[in-house]
A and B are shown apart, each in its own frame.
Chain A
Amino acid sequence: MDNIALNKKVIYTDNNATTRVAPEVFEEMKPYLTELYGNPSSIHTFGSQVSYKIDEARSRVADLLGAQPTEIVFTSCGSESDNAAIMGILGSNPSKRHIITTRVEHPAVLNLCGHLAKTGYDVTYLSVDRNGQLDLNELSESIRHDTAIVSVMYANNETGTIFPIEKIGGIVKEKNVAFHVDGVQAAGKVPIDLSGSTIDLLALSGHKLHAPKGIGVLFIRRGTMIRPFMIGGHQERGRRAGTENVASICGLGKAAELTKKHLNDENTRVKALRDRLEKTLLEKIRHTFVNGDINSRLPNTTNISFEFVEGEAILLHMDRHGICASSGSACTSGSLQPSHVLRAMGIPFTAAHGSIRFSLSRYNTDSDIDKIIEVMPGIIDKLRAISPFASKN
């Protein structure tokens, strides 16, 4: 392993993958990993005192989302929340056999739908345009009398493109179909107010907003008919069995409180850092373009294609400078094909292979951006000097 990066300061711009745990969050968690180890379901004071802290965390998360505390169910991760939402709705509507989702969802939704299709469900995958946006007419035409659920992401993890969720919800609720939103990337980056929303279910993941990994949330609107996904004890009012992950729940509560406080910073200072990074890279490096809808996008994300070079090679060079980011290239997607999101958008393979996603957080600084801007042109030049395609252009 190349360990030069370990000796250097890390410039972390891969926050859509995961985020650092906020120091305040860690402090909040400590007692529940040490002295306060009781089971919140216990009758004795030692255990039950912990349940009050869970209530507090639940209120904090509800407050971030504009929800009621009783509508918040803690899970183990975003993927579990998505699974619980979709499986829970299907379970309570056994006669309805149709699901609608999009081609650009996270694998937690996409692969679940693929699995359900094999077990007899009919799945409609809505297409997206070159900017990654949906055609709402296609959505309304796709809804059938046996549609059980529409599952759409709030914002795309790879490009940051934000879907017009309330417009989508309006169409879905008019036909009286359950509406699930994968809000994992949006929560904490853009304001979400579920109080007057069309959303029935919303998934959220702790580690995307400076809480630890292994904690998630499913918002279930009051009155939504849903079968529990995890069967067992009475925890979470019977909606999600399993002894509570107390420390992480308390950590997530704190993270939600901090996130609400920093939401403005995310949409002003962090957004300005992102914009400067994007604008400068496009100016300094030829044959470069942005993927996604720049008019409706998360404030922290930019997905840039560098033509004629390959993403993993770019990331390996960046790694030497301690810069962390992601790519939609085949070599980094875990399959041999480039990102399904960029392919659905019709981005040419050649450009998809050379795409790099920078995703910032409130911990990024001006000097981080300076450093990236300083080293990127050299990296791309070096790889283009090796590439058989660059010299022809």
Chain B
Amino acid sequence: MWNYSEKVYDHFHNPRNYGEMEKPDSVGEVGSMACGDALRLTLKIDKATDRIIDVKFQTFGCGSAIASSSVMTEMIKGMTLDEAAKITNSDIAKNLDGLPPEKMHCSVMGKEALEAAIANYRGIKIKKDEEEGRLVCRCFGVTEDKIIKLAKENNLKTVEDITNYTKAGGGCGACLQDIQDILDGVWNAKKPAEKPRENEAPKKLTTIQKIKLIEETIEKEIRPSLNQDGGDIELIDIDGNRVIVKLRGMCAHCPSSSFTIKSFVETRLREFVSKDLEVVEE
């Protein structure tokens, strides 16, 4: 099963601060039973100092959901609301000595309940997820805004990361491409498979971007074709717009290797990276 830390097991088996609170000053509720996890956080707050003097949680969910809730209550007890508001989901995960990647959404749920409880106390109406921008994942009700926010906060680069943190895409899978597009927007990624439109002015690439894109194009667009013929290609150097490569395997001894370089490798690199490139063999 999951490789949980000792701390997760400790908080799961001995949850701190759980149960119902009589007359709480503030309540934060997130999740639902249908989604598989839900958290109700209740706070008692000292009005003079804005300090959290008592906290209780109730959680429906798996081991790491219960542990995340429990450790979060320990973290915030005694804090002022301003201090508590600064806690991130990764702080919660860190205090548990980490969570399995697939379970990061449990720490996100803790953070969201805390946010909701603070907003509730301050009289700010938190908008429901559905109202907060476009709905991307219908299975788990995750919006574009939430995906963008978590991607930026946690430096999430792949669709799998997004699923681990938000559950989005973990149901029917219909929104996976949508999530990829959102991530591409966040990180300005160029899609290697998409050909640039003709007459479109080529974007100015930095040297690092160019090197990366050349490597990516060789990996995805060029090497697989050469491999099929028992050949391979190695990137030796990049000098301005000169790309120096070496053909390996069958290609190295192929009489038409110079043809391969010019007509295949160079054409591809010009198509995907920059039309100014020149490819030469070492």
Q: Which residues of A contact B (CB under 8 A)?
A: 1-2, 308-313, 315-317, 320, 329-332, 335-338, 349-350, 353, 385-389, 391
Q: Are B20 and A337 in contact (CB under 8 A)?
A: no
Listed by A's residue number, 10 A-B pairs whose Cβ atoms lie within 8 Å are: A1-B4, A309-B60, A317-B13, A332-B1, A335-B171, A336-B139, A336-B140, A337-B171, A338-B36, A386-B15
Give A114 Cβ to nearest chain B Cβ, in Å.
11
Contact status A388-B12, CB under 8 Å: no
In the bound complex, do residue A330 and residue B39 qualify as a contact, i.e. CB atoms below 8 Å apart? no
Q: 3 shortest A-B CB distances, which residue pairs?
A: A336-B170, A388-B58, A312-B62
Which B residues are CB-close (under 8 A) to A391? 20, 58
Task: Write out the residue numbers on chain B whose beta carbons fall within 8 Å of the beta carbon of A313.
Answer: 12, 61-63, 65-66
In B1-48, which residues have CB < 8 Å from any A CB?
1, 3-4, 9, 12-13, 15, 18-20, 29, 33-40
Most chain B CB inside 10 Å of its own CB: which residue of A309, A310, A338:
A310
- Nearest residue in B to A387 (C-beta to C-beta)? B60
- Are A1 and B3 closer than 8 Å at their CB atoms? yes
Q: Is the CB of A388 within 8 A of B170?
A: no
B68 sits at the interface (CB 8 A): no
Q: How many residues in B have their beta carbons less than 8 Å from beta carbons of A?
A: 34
In angstroms, how far is the closest chain B Cβ from the Cβ of A145?
A: 32
Contact call B12/A316, Cβ cutoff below 8 A: yes
Check if A386 sits within 8 Å of B18, measured CB to CB.
yes
A330 CB contacts on chain B under 8 angstroms: 36
Provide the residues of chain B in CB contact with A338, threshold 8 Å: 36
Report yes or no: A310 in contact with B62, Cβ–Cβ below 8 A. Answer: yes
B59 on interface, CB distance cutoff 8 Å: yes
Give the distance to chain B from A308, nearest Cβ to Cβ, in Å. Answer: 7
Across the interface, do B13 and A310 meet the contact criterion of CB distance under 8 Å?
Answer: no
In whole Å, how far is A51's beta carbon from the nearest beta carbon of chain B? 39
Kindly list 14 other residue pairs between chains A and B, CB separation below 8 angstroms, not including A313-B66, A349-B33.
A2-B4, A2-B9, A309-B60, A310-B36, A310-B65, A316-B12, A329-B62, A330-B36, A336-B36, A336-B163, A336-B167, A386-B58, A389-B38, A391-B20
A23 nearest CB across to chain B (Å): 27
1/0 per residue, CB under 8 A from A, across B164-193: the answer is: 000100110000000000000000000000
Give min CB distance, B103 to chain A, whole Å.
8
CB distance from B204 to the nearest CB of A (A): 40
Which residues of B lie under 8 Å from residue A337 when comparing CB positions? 36, 139, 170-171
Smallest CB gap from B103: residue in A: A331
B38: chain A residues within 8 A (beta carbon): 388-389
Give the A-binding residues of B (Cβ under 8 A): 1, 3-4, 9, 12-13, 15, 18-20, 29, 33-40, 57-63, 65-66, 139-140, 163, 167, 170-171
B residues in contact with A310, CB < 8 Å: 36-37, 60-62, 65
Complex alpha-carbon distance, A388 and B58, angstroms:
5
Q: Are B58 and A387 in contact (CB under 8 A)?
A: yes
A330 to B60, CA, bound (A): 13
Point out the residue from A311, A320, A331, A350 that lies within 8 Å of B13, measured CB to CB: A320
Least distance between B190 CB and chain A CB atoms (Å): 28
Residue of A nearest to B31 (CB): A388
> Provided the pairs A337-B139, A389-B60 are in contact, do residues A349 and B19 lie with their beta carbons within 8 angstroms?
no
Contact B9 A388 (CB under 8 A): no
Closest chain-B Cβ to A131's Cβ sits at a distance in Å of 22
A299 to B128, CA, bound (A): 47
Residues in B whose Cβ lies below 8 Å from that of A331: 36, 61-62
Name the residue on B nearest A334 (C-beta).
B102
Is B66 touching A349 in the complex (CB atoms < 8 A)? no
Query: Smallest CB–CB gap between B141 and chain A, Å?
Result: 12
Hey, which chain B residues are within 8 Å of A335, CB to CB?
170-171
Q: Is the CB of B36 within 8 A of A308?
A: no
Contact B62 A389 (CB under 8 A): no
Complex contacts, A332 vs chain B, CB 8 Å: 1
A residues in contact with B33, CB < 8 Å? 308, 349-350, 353, 389
CA distance A336 to B1 in the complex (A): 15
Q: Complex Cα distance A353/B34, Å?
A: 8
- Complex formed: what's the CA distance from A334 to B139 in Å? 16
Which residues of chain B have C-beta atoms less than 8 A from A320's C-beta? 13
Q: Which of A2, A315, A388 contacts B60 (CB 8 A)?
A: A388
- B36 neighbours in A (Cβ, 8 Å): 310, 329-331, 336-338, 349, 353
The residue in chain A whose Cβ has the minimal distance to the Cβ of B33 is A350
Write the chain B residue with the least CB distance to A2.
Answer: B9
A350 near B66: Cβ-Cβ < 8 Å? no
Shortest A283–chain B CB gap in Å is: 24
> In the complex, what's the smallest C-beta–C-beta distance from B39 to chain A, in angstroms?
7
* Set of chain A residues within 8 Å of B20, measured between Cβ atoms: 391
CB pair B59 A388 closer than 8 Å: yes
Whole-angstrom CA separation of A175 from B12 in the bound complex: 56
Q: Are A386 and B66 in contact, CB atoms less than 8 angstroms apart?
A: yes
* Cα(A335)–Cα(B102), bound, Å: 10
Q: Which residue of A lies closest to B168 (CB)?
A: A336
Determine how close the nearest CB of chain B comes to the CB of A339; give it in whole angstroms. Answer: 12
Residue from A311, A336, A350, A387 within 8 A of B59 (CB atoms): A387
B19 (CB) vs chain A CBs: closest residue: A385
A343 to B40, CA, bound (A): 26
Nearest A residue (CB) for B163: A336
Q: Which residues of A contact B61 (CB under 8 A)?
A: 310, 313, 331
Q: Point out which of B19, B35, B63, B170 has the most chain A C-beta atoms below 10 A from its C-beta.
A: B63
A336 — which chain B residues lie within 8 A by C-beta?
36, 139-140, 163, 167, 170-171
State A247–B59 Cα separation when bound (angstroms). 49
Q: Which residues of A contact B140 (CB under 8 A)?
A: 336
The answer to whether B62 touches A349, judged by C-beta atoms less than 8 angstroms apart, is: no
Smallest CB separation, B215 vs chain A (Å) = 31
Residue of B20, B36, B40, B58 with most partner-chain A CB within 10 A: B36
Which chain B residues border A385 with CB–CB below 8 Å? Answer: 18-19
A330 to B13, CA, bound (A): 20
* B34 contacts A388, C-beta separation under 8 Å: no
Residues on B with C-beta less than 8 A from A388 are 29, 38-40, 58-60
Complex Cα gap A386–B29 (Å): 14
